[in-house]
Structure 1
Amino acid sequence: MDVWKDTQLRKLSCEKDLQRAYRLALDFFNFQGFEYCAFVAHSTLPDQPASKINLNNYPYGWERLYERNGYASTDPIIAHCNQSSVPVLWSEQVFSEAPQLWRELNRQGLKHGWTQAVHDEYGAHYSLFSLARTHCRIDADEHYGNLGYAIFASQRLHALAGKKLSGAMAPPQVCHLSPREIEVLRWSAEGKTASEVGRILCLSERTVNFHVCSCMRKLNVTNKISAVAKAAHIHMI
């Protein structure tokens, strides 16, 4: 059986297609005793439309029920995973402030499970990987026994999803700011007014404002604050 697991993990590590990789992960964890496997990836790039990938074999109708009742806003698992990559086991205590959601999970047969997050190093996207089943509580030994496999699978799916999400977005435009424009934005980031920047750089206030407008146009933003924020985000200042 260990040979089979090793073979499946090798296949997963080499798979380039996200859908097929998810099926490999699902088959692997079905064998490990989990009925359900879910993977959700979200893009988090600024100035880009929200994008999401959702792969799961949850009971029919669960996603619609979840969205219709707005459970995402009160889901403690999402709240935890937004801030941490530490796995979290589902329990009544964890869902103490969302009892209706906990009851629905139990009713749907999603009572025993855990979720872990993968956060992209560059903040481009993050994902959630969940395993669940109808019966049998997940004890510490089983959790830690499967944790390494789950981390490996979640990171592989996360990497493939990142490529897909990036490909679905418009290709980023290369932005070139002149050395003077970068200087103006750097001093603006320090909270200096156009007049103050002008005195520091020996420029007229009108020239400073001209450079700010040029930066706004090149960075595709509508005000100076957004220009400073975007330039900082793409490491230009």
Structure 2
Amino acid sequence: MRIEIERPAGSEAAGLEAAFATLFSQTRALGFDAMIYDYTPVARSLEGELITPSLLQMRNVPEDMRQLWCERGYYQRDPVQHCALASCAPFVWSYQRPENSALQGKLDDHAQAVTHYMRDHDMPCGATVPLHLPNGGFGTLTGIITGAQPERELGDTLASLTFLAHRFQESAFPLFDASMLTCRHVKLSNRERECLAWSAEGLTAKEIARKLHRSVATVTLHLNTAARKLGATNRLQAVVRALHYRLLEGEQHGDN
């Protein structure tokens, strides 16, 4: 089967929407009934918890699924996502027959809510391609089958689904806007990020205040607020945590 990714014209937002429409059409051509794509610039928090994606596209799934995964913590409990993060190879999963799939031994109490949801909404099995990207970015493309289908038949689609996932990622990534490329686990203001960026370069609060034409007290307030949001106990730890979450990348020094 020949798979081609169309490069949409027009604005980036419209182009990305068109790209996902094409991707869904092509996953359906492989025999999948529903599709999920997710991307996050940082996969895990410093505490080891999965970070909710910056970009999540779901097609032909129940209406409440997005809210549950993004706002109710289902993404953090999703055993398919845990399997994907631990694997570089595509895999077949099944909630009906987990012993025959990558979910063997993974459906514990932590995953119970997700397991019941997938079974109750007739989404028992599918295939997932992990996308481990440069600079720590992580994404997955998942095709879902509604109704019963032998997992061995899904295995026949893995090569095509993998090719499709990587071609899509290469084509669509330039269309991602800045908000999609920013980790949403911690939200810092522009001034807090700027002060931390200067601190990462070794400047003291007094030196940062001179750079920004602000008082030392104001700069100290920004640094302390950023540290509190990051769960840091001191300025150095705040910088390290901000770097982990890629909050200082591309930070421009200058007056705002």
TM range (shorter): 0.5 to 0.7
Distance 2:7 2:85 in 1: 28
- AA aligned to 2:152 is A
Number of the residue aligned with 2:124:
111
| CA distance, structure 2, for counterparts of residue 62 and residue 166 of structure 1 | 24
Distance in 2 (alpha carbons) for counterparts of 1:102 and 1:146: 23
- Out of 126, 146, 160, which is 2:138 matched to? 126
**CA contact under 8 A between 2:27 and 2:35: conserved in structure 1?**
yes
Question: Which amino acid counterpart does residue 79 of structure 1 have in structure 2?
Answer: H
Asked if 1:61 corresponds to 2:64, the answer is yes
Pick from 29, 33, 36 the counterpart of residue 34 of structure 2.
36
1:213 aligns with 2:211: no
Cα distance, 1:108–1:231 mapped onto 2, change above 3 Å? closer
**Identity percentage over the alignment?**
14
Contact preservation (8 Å) 1:126, 1:158: no
Which residue does 1:149 correspond to in 2? 160
- Where do 1:1-237 residues align within 5 Å? 5-6=1-2, 9-10=3-4, 12=5, 14-15=7-8, 17-44=15-42, 52-57=54-59, 58-67=61-70, 69-92=72-95, 93=98, 94=103, 95-97=106-108, 98-123=111-136, 125-143=137-155, 145-165=156-176, 167-168=178-179, 212-213=203-204, 217=208, 222=223, 223-227=235-239
Distance change (3 Å), C-alpha of 1:53 and 1:229: closer
CA distance in 1, matches of 2:241, 2:114: 38
Task: Supply the RMSD in Å over aligned alpha carbons.
Answer: 4.1
Q: Is the 8 A contact 2:92 2:151 kept in 1?
A: no
For 2:204, the aligned partner's letter is C
Q: Would the alpha carbon gap of residues 14 and 231 (structure 1) be closer, same or farther in structure 2, given more than 3 Å must change?
A: closer
SS at match of 1:151: helix
Distance 1:20 1:99, change over 3 A: same
1:36: Cα distance to partner?
0.5
Aligned residues: 191
Aligned mates of 2:64, 2:236 — CA distance in 1: 46
TM-score (norm 1): 0.61
| Unpaired segments ≥5 residues, structure 1 | 186-210
* Partner SS, residue 149 of structure 2: coil
Question: Can you give the 5+ residue segments of structure 2 that lack an aligned partner in the other structure?
Answer: 10-14, 45-51, 183-189, 212-218, 224-234, 249-256
SS of the equivalent of 2:158 reads helix
Distance 2:107 2:242 in 1: 39
TM-score by length of 2: 0.57
> Relative to structure 2, which stretch is displaced further, 152-161 or 33-42?
152-161
Distance in 1 of aligned mates of 2:32 and 2:71: 26
Q: Tell me, yes or no, if the aligned pair for 1:13 and 1:156 is still in contact at 8 Å.
A: no
- Residue 77 and residue 228 in structure 1: after superposition, are their counterparts in 2 closer, same or farther (change >3 A)? closer
| Deviation at residue 159 of structure 1 after TM alignment | 3.3
Deviation at 1:106, TM superposition (A): 1.5
Letter in 2 for 1:39: Y
Q: Closer, same or farther in 2 for the Cα pair 1:224/1:101, shift >3 Å? A: closer
